[in-house]
A and B are shown apart, each in its own frame.
Chain A
Amino acid sequence: AQRVTQPEKLLSVFKGAPVELKCNYSYSGSPELFWYVQYSRQRLQLLLRHISRESIKGFTADLNKGETSFHLKKPFAQEEDSAMYYCALKGSSNTGKLIFGQGTTLQVKP
């Protein structure tokens, strides 16, 4: 079964602290993985996709096939990073179906 698990509903850190948002997936083929972010009252925005291997707003994520994980990391959190973060998986079929995790709210305190 295709599934995305984000074990933390809420992650609260102080400004300047490192951040790691966890994402584990279950998929038998070669998944394509994404991180989306939803700031308060704003649209869902793409943050990262694993195949591009780029860093956006200081965030990085590495696909670990052995551990079936795609954790999102940032070395120094900023208050403006406070938002809801969703990890999402797209399978290798051409259906376009995107499976989201339950989301993690990141709260960065001053």
Chain B
Amino acid sequence: DTEVTQTPKHLVMGMTNKKSLKCEQHMGHRAMYWYKQKAKKPPELMFVYSYEKLSINESVPSRFSPECPNSSLLNLHLHALQPEDSALYLCASSQDPGRSTQYFGPGTRLTVL
């Protein structure tokens, strides 16, 4: 398996809902990432997990809560989001957080009503 997969593909949620995004890779990569991408804009880094530990939090609001249960899985828990949080959320992985290529998943299109 040489791909990063993400579920769900689309998610619509209200501002009071709690939901989770999931990301999975079976390439043996030890670094995983969450990005947020607005339409026609570049991805913006949110979090980096290195060897299952959170190594970077780019000052992301606490309504976004990442979790890395094991080396293949990465979750992003969502709670009390705002409409401006609507975006494409991308997961990526790389062999290690150092000098290696990041491979991206297809993303979850999130709409917050």
Contacts and interface: CB of A to CB of B under 8 A. Distances in A.
Contact of B94 (A44, A45, A96, A101): A96
Contacts, number: 56
A34 to B, nearest CB: 7
B48 A95 contact: yes
B50 interface: yes
A92 interface: yes
B56 interface: yes
B33 A43 contact: no
Contacts of A43: 90, 104-107
Contact of A96 (B40, B41, B48, B105): B48
A29 to B, nearest CB: 12
B41 A102 contact: yes
B40 A103 contact: yes
* Range class of the B interface residue count: 20 to 34
B74 interface: no
Interface in B79-113: 90, 94, 96-99, 101-107
Contacts of B94: 96
Contacts of B48: 95-97
B69 interface: no
B31 interface: yes
Interface string B52-70: 0001100000000000000
Interface in A70-100: 84, 86, 90, 92, 94-98, 100
Given A42-B106, A90-B99, A95-B97, 6 more contacts: A46-B103, A96-B56, A96-B102, A97-B48, A97-B56, A98-B45
Interface of A: 32, 34, 36, 42-46, 49, 84, 86, 90, 92, 94-98, 100-103, 105
19 contacts: A34-B101, A36-B104, A43-B105, A46-B102, A90-B99, A94-B50, A94-B96, A94-B97, A95-B55, A95-B97, A96-B33, A96-B48, A96-B96, A96-B97, A98-B102, A101-B42, A102-B41, A103-B41, A105-B40
